[in-house]
């Protein structure tokens, strides 16, 4: 009986660990083109440049967009035109979702995109696009982006202490 109980407890622990690993992507909203998620393990406040001062009005976070079939085809065609090598174009055909590195400015209700990583169904990278000089863009009222923005802002408010701790950790090399 003790062995069975121990086995059941071990299996429950293993299943909870597996499901816990997937829970860092929190669902936000769906629209006709994509399902939107954000990574609760990546969210942190922006530090002022060359400073340890935390700026709570800026939230850095990874946002995942899992595309509908129609939107995927549109993006593959648009991105394939910008790819110069046949190998890059072939890899884009397998693209399934994108992860954006974004900065949401709570005070000014705007978004700045730093980069987008495109992945296939096996979570292998197929393309990467950087936006080094992107100007923050306002978030339109009643848009999908506003729903993502509001969800991330609410999450930050509810998890302030955790995010403050993560924000003070040094960047990995």
Which tokens hold the place of 87? 């190998």
Per-residue pLDDT of 111-159, as tens digits, reads 999 999 989 889 999 888 898 888 899 999 999 999 999 999 999 999 9
Per-residue pLDDT of 38-81, as tens digits, reads 999 999 998 766 667 788 889 999 999 998 888 888 877 776 66
Q: Is 19 domain-assigned?
A: no
- Domains: count for the chain: 1
Domain at 126, CATH number: 2.40.128.710
Q: Which of 151, 162, 173 is nearest to 25 (CA)?
A: 151
Q: Is 166 domain-assigned?
A: no
Q: Is 148 domain-assigned?
A: yes
Q: Is 136 domain-assigned?
A: yes
Q: Is 168 domain-assigned?
A: no
Q: What is the pLDDT of residue 93?
A: 72
Q: Is 12 domain-assigned?
A: no
User: pLDDT-based confidence at 22, cuts 50/70/90?
Assistant: low
Q: Is 4 domain-assigned?
A: no
Q: What is the pLDDT of residue 95?
A: 82
Q: Which domain holds residue 40?
A: 24-157
Q: Residues 26, 41: contact at Cβ < 8 Å?
A: no
Q: Is 93 domain-assigned?
A: yes
């Amino acid at each position: 009986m003790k062995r069975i109980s121990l086995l059941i407890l071990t299996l429950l622990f293993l299943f909870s660990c597996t499901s816990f690993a997937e829970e860092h992507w929190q669902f936000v909203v769906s629209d006709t083109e994509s399902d939107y998620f954000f990574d609760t393990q990546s969210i942190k406040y922006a530090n002022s440049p060359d400073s340890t001062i935390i700026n709570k009005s800026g939230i850095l976070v990874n946002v995942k967009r899992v595309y509908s079939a129609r939107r995927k085809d549109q993006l593959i065609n648009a991105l394939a035109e910008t790819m110069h090598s046949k190998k890059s174009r072939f890899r884009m055909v397998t693209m399934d979702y994108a992860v954006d590195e974004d900065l949401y400015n709570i005070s000014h209700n705007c978004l700045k995109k730093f980069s987008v990583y495109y992945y296939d169904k096996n979570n292998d990278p197929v393309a990467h696009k950087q936006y080094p000089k992107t100007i923050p863009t306002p978030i339109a009222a009643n848009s999908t982006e506003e729903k993502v923005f509001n969800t991330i802002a609410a999450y930050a408010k509810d998890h302030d202490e955790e995010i403050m701790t993560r924000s003070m950790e040094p960047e990995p090399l």
